[in-house]
Amino acid sequence: MAGRILIVDDVATNRIVFKVKLAAACYQPVMASDGVGCLRMAREVQPDLILLDATLPDMPGIEVLRQLRAEPETRNIPVVLISASTDPALCLAALEAGADDCLIKPIEDAVLMARLRNLLRLHEALAELGQRDETLQTLGLAEAQAGFEVQGHTVIVSDRPDLALRWRRETVALQPGGARVISRAEALSEALAMPGDTPDVFVIDADLGGAGGGLRLMSELRSRAATRHAGIVLLHVAPRAEDLAMAYDMGANLALPAQISGRELTLRLRGVMQRKQLGDRLRASVQDGLRMAVIDPLTGLYNRRYALPRLAAISERAEALESCFAVMVIDIDRFKSVNDRFGHAGGDAVLVEVAQRLAENLRASDLVARIGGEEFLVALPDIGLAEARSTAERLCALVQERPIHLPDGQSLSVTVSIGLAVSDFGTDHPEEVTQIFDRADRALMIAKAGGRNQVILGASAA
């Protein structure tokens, strides 16, 4: 995995050792020897991760961390604090200041490299979501993200009651009553996939049901849509370096010793939960933005960007199955006069009502889209000429039969003209979908010129 990693250490030997290890793993190491240099390099180079020594000549590493988190350009860069001190207060202070992890020297190479790979994957995934969200916001297709407080749902999965109860007591600060203790079967049950019931974070006993049981459960959870993006923390009673490295490489957000203090566990779980919920919000925003990109905001129908590729897919399926489909191009008659007489608010009300009447009177498999100002496209898969004509005439009648009520209290009746074309794949030279669409469009022009409020069938090229 390529990535630019900033090494911050005042001891040249330490910097060189880290540089050699990182370069051997195909990372791009850059170096700084003090806090000021770290802050400058972080702004200029924009590294993907920072390895920050806790003791620097000009300021403590934690103060550097606080300044990194205070600046918009650097606040989202993952930071791992490296310390020779075993004082637990230092690690707690680092986590409170925003460190993504705190590692105590000497650090096993396997654990260090696995943790770096893990953090870089998480950072890259969030950064990609953030870039997509920013792009959609620039296009006016998504709202800016608001701040939020971490309030999530944590569960503990363990078959050892003594450990489960201790971990539960230590998570009271995260949610009232602490985390809920559940079994492996409950963790995989469909009930947890219900909206609002899927946990944000799973705290899993690494030896659940025997050695390697926690990793197997994590793999199951990562394979399911409802829990794929959940935070997962593995707690090891007797952790070995290879166990921790494997857990990180398989997708754990954290792999920790089971004897971790309650305060540290709480801080670490809060960080996992915050990143998980940020990812959820970004994914939801991107999904909403993508949906807005293919939805007409006024009528709620699909727009032209979505409709034409979908029409092509309907055509391809019909040709493969040797079935027929129909295309209608529908236009509201004399719509300009509606806008002239009742204003754009009145015109919008007419568009919304006509769109609703069309959508409510078609099959779920049918496509209906707004493709122009007052023009709609309807595609009917698996249908013959007689049924397609009957459907088109029914839509004509449904639009005309009831007046449309306008925002100012007035009402008016409108009609539509429809051009209809049905595919014909039985010839030696079957039509392209664009030709079928063009037939319907030309038929619409004939319907408009011939008196409006009618259905005209487009003549086949055959």
Known catalytic residues? Answer: 374
Residue 195 CB: number of other CB atoms within 10 A?
6
Q: Report whether 116 contacts 288 (CB < 8 A).
A: no
> What CA–CA distance (Å, rounded) separates 462 from 456?
18
Q: Report whether 193 contacts 226 (CB < 8 A).
A: yes
Q: Of 67, 76, 79, nearest to 40 (Cα)?
A: 67
> What CA–CA distance (Å, rounded) separates 122 from 231?
11
Q: Of 347, 336, 352, 326, nearest to 457 (Cα)?
A: 326
At 343, which amino acid appears? G
Judged by DSSP in three states, 232 sits in strand
Question: Which phi and psi (to 5°) does residue 232 adopt?
Answer: -130, 125
> What CA–CA distance (Å, rounded) separates 266 from 268?
5
- Spell out the residues 6+ positions from residue 234 whose beta carbon is closer than 8 angstroms to its own: 204, 206, 214, 215, 218, 247, 252, 254, 255, 256
> What CA–CA distance (Å, rounded) separates 120 from 249?
11
DSSP state of 131: H
> What CA–CA distance (Å, rounded) separates 100 from 80?
6
Structure tokens at 75: 């606040």
Q: Of 453, 426, 448, 442, nearest to 327 (Cα)?
A: 442
